[in-house]
Structure 1
Amino acid sequence: MGRDRTKLHEDLITICYYISDYGYGHATRSIAIIRTVLERHHDQPIRLIVNCGKALPFLIDSLQKEMLPWISNDHRIEFRSIFSDTGYVLQHDSIAADIQSLRQQYNLDMSLFEERVTQEQQFLLGVKAQLVISDISPIPFVAAQRAGIESLGISNFTWYTAYQDMLEKSDLNTLRAAYAQMDHFISLAGCAEPEWGRKCRIDTGFFCRQPDLQEVERIRTELDPTGQRKIIFFGLGRSIQVDHWSTMELWDSEQCVFIVSSNMDIDHPQVVQIPDQYTESQNYVAAADLVITKPGWGTVCEAIELAKPLILLNRSHFYEDRHTIAAVPSDHPLYLMSWEEIQQLTLSTEDEIGQRHDAQPGKGLSIHERSSSTLVEIADYIQNLLQHVKVV
C-alpha cells in the first residue's frame, strides 16, 4: 500500500506491529486497531510493518488496499513472516490442553528466545522503528528495550499468566521478565494481569471489526430466504481440530441453519461453511441469531458488541477463558456448556435459547458505537505515543 520501498520518505513514522501466531483472534482485533489508526492518523504518513506467522496470509488479505479505500495512500503497510510465541497445544480430537506436549514445545521455543530477541533487535534498528506494538508476543518487548525503542502491549492476557496453570512457575521467569520490559500496556476487557507498563497502563473494553450492513442483509437472505429459520454461528476456532464434527446431533436441529469456519469439514444440508478466502467473519456473526463458540476474546466480543446470545464452551482450566467469561456483561444472554453437552445439544425455534435472540437483521448494530469509541481510545493513545517517540 502506498509508496514503493525505494521511494520511502524520511518523514515516515515506522511502527513494527507483532501479532500472536496462535489462532485468529489476535489478528482480527489487531486488524480493527490498525484500520482505525491508519484512518485517524493524518498528520504524518505511517510505515507499518506487520509481523506474524500462521495468520499472516489472513492479515495480508484483510489489510490490502482494496479493503481500506478510505485510508490515505501516503501510509504504507509491509508484511513479514516470523515466529511470535508457542501458544497452546491441544490434545488430538479434544478441547483439552496437552500439557506434556506444551511443555516440550515451550522448552524448545524458549531455548531459542535469546537468539530471536537478538534477531528482532537488529531488525528494529535496521528499519529505524520508532514504536513497537505487540499482541502479545514477549520477544518484541525485550528487543525494543535493548534497541532503545518505545514499546506498547495490547491484550486481554499474556502467555505468562496463560501458562500459570499448565507449567511450573520457575519455567515462566523469562516470560515475566520479558513482559516487564513493555513501556505501555493497553489492557482489554477481561484482563487480569500484573501491572505491566513501566510508563503507563490504561484499561479498555470490548471492540470488534465494523460489520457491513448490506453484506449482513445479503448473508441473512441467502441463508434464510423465508425468514423462518434460526441462523446459528458455530465457531470453536481454527486451533481446535476434532475428527467427528459431522456426527454431532446439533446439525439436525429443526428449522436451523449453521455457519461454520472453512476448516470444519461437515457434509450436512443445514451446515454452511464461510468461504475460505472470506476475511470479514464479523458479518456472519452479525447475521446470526445465536453464537456458539469457545471463550476466545475475538468471537465473544463480536457477539457482545453485536447483541447476539452466547453459548460458550466451558474450559475452566484455561486462565484466559475464565476471565473472558467473567467480563461478559451480566445482562447479556449467556449459557455455559461442557464439551459433552455441546456434542449432545439440539436446538429448536421454540426453546428458551431460541426465544432470547435478536431476530431482526441489523438490530443491535448501533451498539457498535461503543466498540468504535474503544477503538478510537486505543488509536488516539497510539497517536499520542507517535508524537513523543524518539526519532532513531
Structure 2
Amino acid sequence: MNITVYISGHGFGHLAQMAPVMKHLREQQPDCRFLVRCALDRHEIGARLGFDVELEQSPVDVGVVQKNAIEEDREASIIGIRTWLDSVDDQIKREIDLLASFRTDLVISDISPLAFPAARALGVPGVGLATLDWFTIYAHWLAADDAVLEKLTHAYSQCDLLLTPPMAMDMPVFPVRRQIPLIAAYPSGKTCPPEKKRSKTALVIFGGSNQPAFDVQALAAMDDWQFLMPLAPTDAPDNVTSVSFGRDLKAVDLMPFVDVVVCKPGYGILAECWATATPIAWVERPDFPEYPMLKGWLQNGFPSCGMNRSDFSRSLWLPALEGALACRRQFPQISADGAQVAATEILACLNG
C-alpha cells in the first residue's frame, strides 16, 4: 500500500498531529510505503517519525507569515497566499503526476489544499486531518467573495473526510467531518531527568517559528526557577540551561520532569502538555484567528495562566508561572488514542 502524506510547513503543529497517525498506520498496515510532501527539515520529520520515508521536500501551502512565534504578519500573509494561488492549477497538475508516479492508493493531508483535487483526479481517497485550515484562517481577514476563499473552497470541498481532534476550529468548508480523540506525542520513557539546579523547573519552547525576543538576563531574578530552553545563549544566567532536541530527545520527553511549560498557544505543544498533565504558562497570540478558540481551552479546561506579550518580552513571567502551578483546573480525561482512531478511520476509507 502506498500512502502520500501532505504536511504543512507552518510551524511544527501539523507534523505533531500527523506523525503519531503515521506510526499507527505503519503498525496496522506493515507493508505500507509513505511519500511525504512537506517543506520541513528532513531531520525534524525523522525525529518525529522514528522511521524513514520517501520525502519530496518542497512547500505544499503558504500558511501564515510569522514575524515570530507569537506575532503574525497579516499583510505579508495575504500577499503570499494570493501569489501562491495564482499558480494553484499548475501545482495540482504536478501533484497528480507525482501521485501517479508513486502509485498512490491513499492521500492524507494536514492541511494542504493541493492534496484533495489531486486525489480526486486519480480516484483515490483523500482524507484530511487538521485542527485548522487555510480557508478558515483567511476568512477572518478577507471579504467573503475574495478569490482566495473561492479557490480554497474549491480545493477543500474535494476532501472525502476530515478528521478533527479536540482544539479544532469550526471548518464548515469540508463536506464530511468527524471528531476523534486527542492526538499527541508521549514521552519515550528513556530520558534521564535533567540536573535539578533550582526548586522549580520550566521548559521554554516555541515550536517551529522564530522564538520571540525576551530579556534572558532578567530570568536571573527568578532564582527559584530553572529554565530549560533550546539554544540558550552562552551568556545566559546560571538558572538557564540549554537543551538540544532531535531524534533522541523531544520536548515531550522533558515534560515529566518540569513543573510548567512556557509556550505560545498552538496545537502541538498544548496536546503534549495535556498528554503529560503539565501546567502551562502561555503567551498571548491575539493576531492569529485560531487564538480565541485555544484561549478558551486554556482558560476553561487546562491548568494554566497567561501573560501578555509585553510581560513576556521583559521576562516578567513569575505571575504566570506561579499562577499555572496554583491553578486548580485539571486536564480533561483522554478517552482514547486519537492517532490510533484516526489510522483506523483512514484505512476504512481505503476499504470502502
**TM-score bucket (shorter structure):** 0.7 to 0.9
Q: Does 1:148 find its partner at 2:119?
A: no
Give 1:63's aligned amino acid. L
- 1:56 deviates by 3.4
Q: Does 1:47 find its partner at 2:33?
A: yes
Match of 2:196 among 224, 228, 252: 224
- 1:16 deviates by 0.3
- 1:150 deviates by 0.9
The equivalent of 2:318 in structure 1 is: 347
- 1:194 deviates by 3.3
The equivalent of 1:267 in structure 2 is: 235
Query: Would you say the 8 A contact 1:18–1:52 is kept in 2?
Result: yes
**Hey, what's the Cα distance between the residues in 2 that align with 1:29 and 1:94?**
18
- 1:311 deviates by 1.7
Q: How does 1:1-392 map to 2 (within 5 A)?
A: 13-41=1-29, 45-65=31-51, 77-91=53-67, 95-169=70-144, 170=146, 171-198=148-175, 200-215=176-191, 218-219=192-193, 222-224=194-196, 228-242=198-212, 244-247=213-216, 249-262=218-231, 265=233, 267-268=235-236, 269-278=238-247, 280-328=250-298, 330-344=300-314, 345-347=316-318, 351-356=322-327, 370=334, 373-388=337-352
**Hey, what's the Cα distance between the residues in 2 that align with 1:177 and 1:332?**
36
- Aligned-pair RMSD on alpha carbons? 2.9
- Over 3 Å counting, the alpha-carbon distance change for 1:252 and 1:168 in structure 2 is farther
Query: Would you say the 8 A contact 2:311–2:317 is kept in 1?
Result: no
- Over 3 Å counting, the alpha-carbon distance change for 1:247 and 1:123 in structure 2 is same
Give 2:134's aligned amino acid. W
- Over 3 Å counting, the alpha-carbon distance change for 1:273 and 1:194 in structure 2 is same
Query: Would you say the 8 A contact 2:108–2:129 is kept in 1?
Result: yes
Give 1:177's aligned amino acid. H
- Over 3 Å counting, the alpha-carbon distance change for 1:373 and 1:290 in structure 2 is same
Q: How many residues align?
A: 347
**Hey, what's the Cα distance between the residues in 1 that align with 2:6 and 2:335?**
22
> Which deviations, in whole Å up to 9, do the C-alpha atoms of 1:182-227 show, x marking residues without a partner?
00110121223333554x4211232211212341xx13xx2316xx
Give the 3-state SS of the residue equivalent to 1:319 in structure 2: coil
**Hey, what's the Cα distance between the residues in 1 that align with 2:99 and 2:262?**
41
**Hey, what's the Cα distance between the residues in 1 that align with 2:335 and 2:251?**
16
Give 2:339's aligned amino acid. L
**Hey, what's the Cα distance between the residues in 2 that align with 1:382 and 1:335?**
36
What stretches of structure 2 of length at least 5 have no aligned partner? none
**Hey, what's the Cα distance between the residues in 2 that align with 1:238 and 1:255?**
29
- Over 3 Å counting, the alpha-carbon distance change for 1:251 and 1:85 in structure 2 is farther
- 1:282 deviates by 1.0
**Hey, what's the Cα distance between the residues in 2 that align with 1:154 and 1:97?**
23
List structure 1 runs of 4+ shifted beyond 6 angstroms: none
Identity, % of aligned positions: 21
Q: TM-score, normalised by structure 1?
A: 0.80
Give 1:98's aligned amino acid. D
Query: Would you say the 8 A contact 1:259–1:284 is kept in 2?
Result: no
Give 1:210's aligned amino acid. Y
Query: Would you say the 8 A contact 1:260–1:272 is kept in 2?
Result: yes
Query: Would you say the 8 A contact 2:219–2:239 is kept in 1?
Result: no
Query: Would you say the 8 A contact 1:14–1:130 is kept in 2?
Result: yes
Give the 3-state SS of the residue equivalent to 1:330 in structure 2: helix
